[in-house]
Structure 1
Amino acid sequence: MTASGSTSAAGPAPGVTPGAASGPPVRAAHRHPRPWRATLRAIPTLLRIGVAETVAYRAEFVIWMLTTSLPLVMLGLWTSVAAEAPFRGYDSADFVAYYLSVLVVRNLTGSWVSWQLEDEIRRGMLSMRLLRPIHPFLSFAASHLASVPLRGVIALPVAVVLLLSSGADALTRDLAQLAWLLPALALGWFLSFCILFAIGALAFFLERSSAIVDVYFGVFAVLSGYLVPLTIMPAWLAAVAQVTPFRGIIGIPVQIVTDPSLGPMGAARLVGFQALWAVAVLLLLSWLWRRGVRRFEAFGA
């Protein structure tokens, strides 16, 4: 992905008041000498900035965390349903293990980059990022990665306590299978980040992309397994969910943890599925970004 073209960003971008995006001509990050060396040197600083931003905006961060607690609501609903008899192969312990795994995975793979990117495009602030030798995608990614450990610290204790009390027996104990969990989580985060970054980049072409984010989250909640396990969905809907990238964000990491019948080879195939979707989404994002930045600079010239 290139960060810029050869035109300047001296005027207003779409939806930005005149003068908001004024400044020197934007230079592409890939034209900076040894850009990857500069990027590697900057990553620790970007991570520290991300941690500082998370701490500085801790109230907003906690609110965002609370919005990801829907699995606890679904847990209460489904354990009530399964209290008297298993529902489609799930008993209460299975639902506890599933939804607490969803809670942790959602917190570790979620992102809010689409709103940030849309805001910077609309206000012309993206011009400053385009002047730097580090691609905006990498600077946003480092900032968001820095908040993941804190999210884990908040979500894991709740899940561990509830799992130990009623759902631990439903988790897999195959260490070879569990070895695929870390790559699955990493690819789940990457998929989520890339998709939301692409939606945010639609602000290059639309007045607002946040409405598309709302639609995305509605589809994501159903097809990822966030609301309901894919195995208890109607057959036609489960078949659709199986081939979408959304399953790679939530469903696959959760399945690796909660499906003892999967086995190491099955887990490896699922991670391969995630990797294929990650490459596809990244290629689409690269194309969208190049076109969007050219449009952004043309309006600012």
Structure 2
Amino acid sequence: MRIFGLNRKIIRVLLGTEYAHMLEYRAEIALWALSGVLPFIMLSLWNGSDARGALGMVGVGLDRYFLSAFLVRQFSVVWMIYAFEEDALSGRLSPYLLQPLHPLWRYVASHLGEQLTRLPFAAGITAIFFLIQPKAFWVPSLGHFVLAWLATWMAFSIAFLLQSLIASLCFWSEKASALERLLFIPFLFLSGLLAPLTAFPPFVRTLAQWTPFPYLIDFPARVLAEQPVNLLVGFAIQLAWIVLLLPLVLLLWRAGVRRYSAMGA
């Protein structure tokens, strides 16, 4: 059985290799997991603010939302553009292009291997959170967990395609990652990482719905926290962004490969 040019054996070997590679950097990955505690910092700020009631989250709803935002971020974070830029500048991309396996699959496998390595650290941080906030403890139903996993996977796909689109510009520019840093600011404010979208004025919420950012954190986090959310609309918009971005990535990639010339050693 082949999936987009991959068969089961290639998938198994590729994931196994990348997972073993990421295990070598597990100490660094632990620090990456710890560096993702921004949602907990924002939770402490919102808990100490009189504006908490305006968020429409009663009781432990806000605690569960930010914990869910932390977990979604842990398993949807994408750093592909920086690895790709380094490979392009050093010339390592050249042999990848000569192999039958599309280079983008290597970066997908690297991210999946890193997520498996990150899993125990994320679980440990979650356990500590519940020790500090025992009232916020809950176990999502199987249905919500599966839907949250799917929403998080689709969020990862959107983020990966966005970075792949920008990374393709490395064929024309040596520092395409600078564009990704420009996207980080609207992502930070519109994704729900700093605050649930209900905290923003209606105009800002309407504007955010026309971007992919709320579907990277806010939507999957609400699904995991079992909070009111329109599942059909949310998944439809996530799928629409994937369908829109995928052909753009492939077209820009093919155009870039035609003019690519290796640099470095």
Q: TM-score range by the shorter chain?
A: 0.7 to 0.9
Distance 2:245 2:228 in 1: 30
CA root-mean-square deviation: 2.6
Distance 1:111 1:230 in 2: 22
Residues 114-156 of structure 1: per-residue CA shift (max 9 Å, x gap):
1000111112210111111110111211121122122222113
* Aligned match of 1:50: 18
The partner residue of 1:109 within 76, 90, 93 is: 76
Residues 18-64 of structure 1: per-residue CA shift (max 9 Å, x gap):
xxxxxxxxxxxxxxxx9966654321111112112212123332332
Would you say the 8 A contact 1:180–1:271 is kept in 2?
Answer: no
SS of equivalent to 2:55: coil
Would you say the 8 A contact 1:79–1:92 is kept in 2?
Answer: no
The partner residue of 1:282 within 240, 246, 250 is: 246
Q: Report the CA distance shift for 1:205/1:182 in structure 2 as closer, same or farther (over 3 A).
A: same
* Aligned match of 1:166: 135
Would you say the 8 A contact 2:171–2:259 is kept in 1?
Answer: yes
Residue 273 of structure 1 aligns with an amino acid whose one-letter code is I
1:182-221 equivalences under 5 Å are: 182-221=149-188
Uncovered stretches (5+) of structure 1, i.e. residues with no partner: 1-33
The partner residue of 2:32 within 64, 69, 74 is: 64
Would you say the 8 A contact 1:174–1:260 is kept in 2?
Answer: no
Would you say the 8 A contact 1:96–1:166 is kept in 2?
Answer: no
For normalisation by structure 1, the TM-score amounts to 0.78
Residue 207 of structure 2 aligns with an amino acid whose one-letter code is V
1:117-196 equivalences under 5 Å are: 117-163=84-130, 165-168=134-137, 176-196=143-163
Larger radius of gyration: 1
Shift of the alpha carbon at 1:161?
Answer: 4.5
* Aligned match of 1:96: 63
Would you say the 8 A contact 1:187–1:274 is kept in 2?
Answer: yes
SS of equivalent to 1:87: helix
Distance 2:85 2:52 in 1: 48
Distance 1:181 1:85 in 2: 25
Length, aligned pairs only: 261
For normalisation by structure 2, the TM-score amounts to 0.88
Residues 50-85 of structure 1: per-residue CA shift (max 9 Å, x gap):
112212123332332233221111111111115x97
Shift of the alpha carbon at 1:259?
Answer: 4.7
Q: Report the CA distance shift for 1:85/1:279 in structure 2 as closer, same or farther (over 3 A).
A: closer
- Give percent identity, aligned residues only: 30
Would you say the 8 A contact 1:177–1:267 is kept in 2?
Answer: no
The partner residue of 2:49 within 53, 69, 81 is: 81
- Relative to structure 2, which stretch is displaced further, 253-262 or 216-225? 253-262
Would you say the 8 A contact 1:35–1:134 is kept in 2?
Answer: no
Shift of the alpha carbon at 1:91?
Answer: 4.4
* Aligned match of 1:254: 221
